[in-house]
Amino acid sequence: MSPIYGLLDLVEYGLLLLTFSGAPWVLSKYAHVTVDLVTSAVPLNTAQLIARYVSILGFCVSLVVAIYSLEAVVTSQSHGSMIRTAFVIPEWWVLSIMPASFTLLALEFLRQAISPSRNFTTPKGL
């Protein structure tokens, strides 16, 4: 019973890929974990205003991370950095999912800031 060669690396890369590629979709479906302690206790107009500001903040943070992660990809590619584990692959292959994902997240946050479609009237909490 010997372990499967490279399985740990494949699982790590798979988790990275699935997490970063799924995040924009989850955000677009409002399926992420939310803490509605404040928004459930304020009037509807105020809750929508808070949601808009949070979306603007999310847009800004996602854009900054996208820019810095793109810089990391370009630097890794220009230096020819390699990941040497069970597989030997260029580092930028692994890093390239981040700028793509955070760019999509920034676009989704921007869409939600411009036209929030979240329904604040549904029951919340436990």
Nearest residue to 68 via CA among 32, 105, 91, 98? 98
23, part of any domain: yes
Nearest residue to 23 via CA among 103, 118, 88? 103
Query: What would you report as the CA-atom Rg of the chain, rounded to the nearest whole angstrom?
Result: 19
122, part of any domain: no
Q: How confident is the model at residue 119 (pLDDT cuts 50, 70, 90)?
A: low
Retrieve residue 35's tokens: 């803490």
1, part of any domain: no
125, part of any domain: no
Range of the domain at 61: 7-113
55, part of any domain: yes
81, part of any domain: yes
CA distance 6 to 107: 35
Retrieve residue 120's tokens: 């604040």
Q: What is the pLDDT of residues 40-92, one digit of tens each?
A: 888 988 988 988 999 999 999 999 999 999 999 999 999 999 999 888 999 99
24, part of any domain: yes
- Model pLDDT, residue 121: 56
Nearest residue to 78 via CA among 62, 95, 64? 95
Number of domains comprising the chain? 1
pTM: 0.85
77, part of any domain: yes
Residue 19 has pLDDT above 80, yes or no: yes
Q: How confident is the model at residue 94 (pLDDT cuts 50, 70, 90)?
A: very high
